[in-house]
Chain A
């Protein structure tokens, strides 16, 4: 006999329930867990589905109750509870419209919250003081995890460098299943070390970063003082002493003198060994028979192999003239207010010359300096050869190279006899292989004389040969030069001064546009002795 209520056949079977899982495994360390899934079928039609969670202490609570169904004959149960460690059983009671119930239970297996790995150093910090001769202790630490370790990274943090990796391993790649790891290694710390950092990551991705401070006190490197001379300006084959004092807290093991060819060490001149002297005075006589020498490197090594180095510049067989002045036409007669500044320069005299002095000694005049105002206020600077094959009159026949007040009057400069033909060329360091600072006698001897061929350097802002601070020029003296025929040297422009208004001087010039353009410059010169 069938029993019908509102068109529903109440004689059907009780609900059937089917869980996907026999055990509900939930890991509290995971961001998400798989849902609890069950399918409940009911021939009669469901009236309610109650879900209970039972705890390990026996308590139970109604987690959820469903009484409204999209399809009363079939309910797809999908739940994602917020798990707690004491959850024990998930129980479902399905009741149909005929009040028939079915109960089904599935046990929970809860994986509790795991702490991040723990890193334990053997020492709270590593202290090394070279002054006390402290040995470098072995670095030991242990890593423990409540689960398994995924990776371990050990890095040295340094003062002025990027961190250096000491140890790195991904255990999932290497196939090691470890819940702990013991590190024991000798790490060569130095004064750059700040800390050792350990990063341990477990299988859940939880990481622990632990830091071991490193306090490293280094002994200072040896000190070199009382150096004499501070540079060598010597003739080829000259013998010159070098003296200096050395102080070392650790004690000196060795002192070396090394000859330098620009940036390259070309050989050891002296190697002296010592027995941990804390202080000493070093003296040696050096024979300068190397025309390519640019310096002597002093190397002091202490017993800890820490080095102190110093390079003493050497100019072998070279004249090195500093603070040499040249002036524009305004200075050709010499200005008592600015002694030493003239429009002509003599390499033999190693100084500027007035027109009066030059007139009687034309072979002494090597450089002429000249300037005028270009349009738009741009000063035009010129280095000229005393003898020019073109444009000579343009520069030299003006009133600035004569002195009508003199008795007898000095004739126009261009009519002088016995003058030099000096040639110039801007230095191309890349081509020549040397700079003003590291040039040697050997370098100058190798320069091809014919390449130095300009009788006029035009220093304007638009010309290629700029006469500005820092620019360097090769020169070749004339065949009649009292400084020596066809000597090749170089000069560097150190400073350039311009005066916009003609100053009041003891012997004022008359009004002349070519004289009122006033300027002077300071140069340094190197040339063979």
Chain B
């Protein structure tokens, strides 16, 4: 009997709550204007590198070999493949040096030239095929061979990168045994081209027995 009275009391309270009114006002209509983030950073690739602490190794390497003029000029457009820390220091250590500034300048310059592509290749510029294409960098000869690809579909065709707009260099199988790298940040439009950021660098390798221009074999 006691239990029945308690249940009756709870039911009564619930009814009171149901009929009690809320004092908040109804939400009004609001206009939404969609706007893509502006990829233009209004600075040169060199300025961008200098202002990014994650790219200090790259900045040191560029200054060391005197290629900063290429990264800062605005007369020709380039696609700059920029390597984040600490990949270049790791590379120097692997070759027996403490930093890239201790390495032979030719070796460092060759790595940088391999990663500077003539023309603009990004997800914003000229149409780029969904398959890897050979592009020109600042090197000549067989060691200059490099392929470029922008992923335009969530379904990857060659590599594991499936993020639309992501950049992939030397997609596996497209350029001998060259290692494939995918961008971590991409399509940064500078006043002198476009910058794509990578955790690792790449190089040309015809096959497993081929000695690359600036990296140890099968690095």
Which residues of A line the B interface, CB within 8 A?
18, 20-22, 34-35, 37, 39, 41, 70-71, 73-74, 76-78
Q: Is B38 an interface residue (CB 8 A)?
A: no
- Give B15 Cβ to nearest chain A Cβ, in Å: 70
Report A-chain residues with C-beta under 8 Å of the C-beta of B127.
70-71
- Give B143 Cβ to nearest chain A Cβ, in Å: 9
Interface residues on B, range: 10 to 19
Whether A37 contacts B145 by the Cβ 8 Å rule is yes
Q: Is B43 an interface residue (CB 8 A)?
A: no
Whether A76 contacts B133 by the Cβ 8 Å rule is yes
- Candidates A18, A35, A70, A71; contact of B136 at CB < 8 Å: A18
A18 to B140, CA, bound (A): 10
Whether A76 contacts B134 by the Cβ 8 Å rule is yes
Whether A21 contacts B140 by the Cβ 8 Å rule is yes
Whether B144 contacts A20 by the Cβ 8 Å rule is yes
- A-facing residues in B117-139 (Cβ within 8 Å): 118-119, 126-129, 133-136
Given the interface pairs A71-B127, A73-B126, the reply to whether A21 lies near B133 with Cβ below 8 Å is no
A78 to B131, CA, bound (A): 13
Report B-chain residues with C-beta under 8 Å of the C-beta of A78.
133-134
Report B-chain residues with C-beta under 8 Å of the C-beta of A39.
118-119, 134-136
Whether B119 contacts A20 by the Cβ 8 Å rule is no
Report B-chain residues with C-beta under 8 Å of the C-beta of A76.
133-135
Report A-chain residues with C-beta under 8 Å of the C-beta of B119.
39, 41, 74
- Give A72 Cβ to nearest chain B Cβ, in Å: 9
A231 to B141, CA, bound (A): 87
Report A-chain residues with C-beta under 8 Å of the C-beta of B144.
20
Whether A20 contacts B129 by the Cβ 8 Å rule is no
Q: Is B206 an interface residue (CB 8 A)?
A: yes
Report B-chain residues with C-beta under 8 Å of the C-beta of A22.
140-141
Whether A20 contacts B126 by the Cβ 8 Å rule is no
Q: Is B142 an interface residue (CB 8 A)?
A: yes
- Give A251 Cβ to nearest chain B Cβ, in Å: 60
A37 and chain B: residue at smallest CB distance: B134
A73 and chain B: residue at smallest CB distance: B126
Report B-chain residues with C-beta under 8 Å of the C-beta of A35.
134, 145
A22 to B176, CA, bound (A): 20
Whether B134 contacts A18 by the Cβ 8 Å rule is no
Q: Can you show 17 pairs from A to B with CB atoms below 8 A apart? A: A18-B136, A20-B140, A20-B141, A21-B142, A22-B140, A22-B141, A34-B142, A34-B176, A34-B206, A37-B134, A37-B136, A39-B118, A39-B135, A73-B126, A74-B119, A77-B134, A78-B134
Whether B141 contacts A21 by the Cβ 8 Å rule is yes
Whether A71 contacts B128 by the Cβ 8 Å rule is yes
Given the interface pairs A34-B206, A37-B145, the reply to whether A20 lies near B128 with Cβ below 8 Å is no
